[in-house]
Structure formats: structure tokens, C-alpha cells
Amino acid sequence: MPFKYQKGLDQECLSSRAAECRPCIAKTRPSKPILDKSCWLPAFSLVSDLIRMPDIAGLVVSSLVAWFILLLDFAWCFNAECEWIWKRQPNMTRLAYIFSRIFPLLAHLPHIVLLIRFRPPFAVKLCRSWFLFLHLSSACVEVVFAAVLYLRTCALHGNVSAVRLCGVCAVSIEAFVVIGGGILLFFEAEFDPYCIAKPKRLGFALPVVFLANQSIVWFLTWYGKFLLSRKLHPFGNPEVHQMISFLSPLLRDNSIVISVATLGFALAVPTTATTGIQTHIVYPWTMTGVSCLCCHLILNLFRVERDPSPFELSNPNLETISIQLESDHIFPPPVYLRRTQDVPMETEGPLSIPRTTLPLAMSKAYD
């Protein structure tokens, strides 16, 4: 006959002392096999669940790898950060760097904890809240990234009002579309047990707006180089990259950004249309990639040689490039450049006084 519990005896045992309960419960309850999962420690239970469910194990490993990449990048750039970020007076550029460096590290932690705590199939309410948290976290990093790109472009164009207005409008539109689109997807997207969001609308709007912003920045950068080339033409058409040290890293970085954005767009649009948005993979890796790119773009600004070139000293319109990047930089006194018998003549006038190339005969009139 099947074994039955003795209810009265169990209640007596539970009401007595613990030492007296153990032998009584052992007699009244059937012994469980040693290999039963309920007898294992919680850590072994977690490992067993991950082994039996390779999908959730892959999600946990993917999120941990993305988080460790952020830590490794932080350690790799630590010396440069101490020199240009942590030991200097805070400004908007440094605050953007600090946010891009620290916020993704903190946002990954609750995501990893939730992956370890819960098991699929996930509840729809949990998936919606999880999706909104990761989407808004990624959106904040993307908006800061776009602001940094336009800040570099404004520095190249000498802080022109038209470029500044274009940057403010583009960043505002991206913030509205990305954050508003995430809230709309929170209410209208369908979620499966693995939190894969299948959007009904705005499935392509988010990557399109992100790629459009990078394209505008790339166009403004090359247009700024074209304007500088035309400005340098009366001086014998010298090499622009040699005259302005800030231009080479700007063009290189923007080319890398537009390449990565185009590749991400080519992968994101077909994937979203066919399988949906994998919440646990897309957003953690988006935060990691955008955070590393943003931090390296800012560090590349400060790593540029701080001493301006002779052409920057002789052209006051280009001095805003260095002033925009490092406000506490002290320029050396201006020097008049001469075509013949180059003899430096220092003046004590302000930086706004136009400087040009004077022959030696004309310069003697100032003695």
C-alpha cells in the first residue's frame, strides 16, 4: 500500500523541540533521493537550471560579457581619464563622459540580477517593465552620444549659430523619438515568454532616426573640412590636416561612427522585422557599444595636441576650436609670421586682433 503521512504525529513533532522532531519526521515521511533537486544547495540549483535551459544561460553569459567589456574599457582608459577627466574642472563634456562611463555599468546590474532571479517563461507584465527599463537606459546613453557628436562638430565650425541650432534640433528630435517610441512600444508591442518584443508600429523609426543623426554629423564634418580648405587656399593650399591637429581625429572618429551605425542599421532592421526585438541582448550590447564609443570620442578630443599650429595662431577664427575643447588652456602670445627672414615679433595685443603674414620691409615700420 502507498505510504501515507500521519497528520497527528506530524503536528506533535512540529510543536516539540527541533531535536525531537528530526527522528519523528524521518519516520513519518518518505526519504527523498540524494540526486533530487530540492536537496541541493541554492547555488547548485541555479547551475542546474542554467544547464537545463541553455537559452537563459546564454542570456546570462551575454549580459555578463557586455558588463565585463565595460569594466575592461574603463581599466584600459583609466590613466587618460585621470589626466583629462577626474583631475580637471567639470564642464559639459566631462559630465557627458562621466555619465556615459558610469550609468551603463550601473544599469547592467539590475538586469543581470533579474536574469538570475527569474526563469522563463516570463510574465508579460515583467517583460514590459523589463523592456521599458532597458530601452530608456539605452536611450539616455544614445542621446548623450549624439550630443557629444554635435559638440565636436560645433567646435570644428567655430561655434557657428546655424550648426549649433542644427545640433540642438537633431538631439531634441532623437530624444523625443527614442524615448517616446520606447514608451509607445511598452503599451503596444507584443511579448513572448522570452521577452522578445514584436512591435506593431515604430519598428523601423528608432534605428532610422539614429542613423540619420550620424549621417548629418558626418556630412557637417566633411563640409567643415571643405570650408577650411577653401579658407586655406589663399595661403598656398597647404595640407589641412597638418594645419589643424583637431581635424584628423575628428574625421577618423566620425568615419568609424558612421560605419558602425550603418552596420547596426543593416542588422537591426531585418532582425526587428522577422524575429522582433530581443530585449535581453539588443539593449545591453547597445549600451555597451555606445558607451565605449562615446568615451573614446571624448578622450580623443583631449588627447589632441594642445599647442595650436602657426596657422591657428595667425587666424583668430580657428582659435575657437581649442577654446571649445579645453577652456583652461592658455595660449602663448601671438606671433607675426613673415615670408622672408622669419623673425618672430611678439605682441601683447588680444587674441582677437587679426594677424597676417607681413614682409620684413613692412615689419620694420612697426619698430
Q: What is the mean pLDDT of residues 47-76?
A: 77
The full set of domains in the chain, from first to last, is: 7-31 (no CATH), 42-313 (1.20.1070), 335-367 (no CATH)
Least confident of 154-163, 182-191, 209-218, 349-358: 349-358
Asked if 106 and 254 touch (Cβ cutoff 8 Å), the reply is no
Query: What is the pLDDT, as a whole number, of residue 64?
Result: 93
Least confident of 2-6, 53-57, 174-178: 2-6
Residue bearing the bigger pLDDT, 77 or 18:
77
The pLDDT mean for the chain works out to: 71
Among residues 132, 223, 212, 202, which one has the least CA distance to residue 169? 212
On the question of a cis peptide bond just before residue 350, with omega within 30 degrees of 0, the verdict is: no
Amino acid at 113: V
Query: What is the pLDDT, as a whole number, of residue 212?
Result: 85
Question: Buried b / exposed e across 189-205, counting CB within 10 Å, b at 16+?
Answer: bebeebbbbbbeebbee
All three cell numbers of 190, joined, read 507584443
Least confident of 90-99, 152-161, 339-348: 339-348
- Note the pLDDT tens digit of each residue in 11-36: 444 444 444 444 444 444 444 444 44
0.75 exceeded by pTM: no
Determine the Cα–Cα distance for residues 49 and 52; give it in Å rounded to an integer: 5
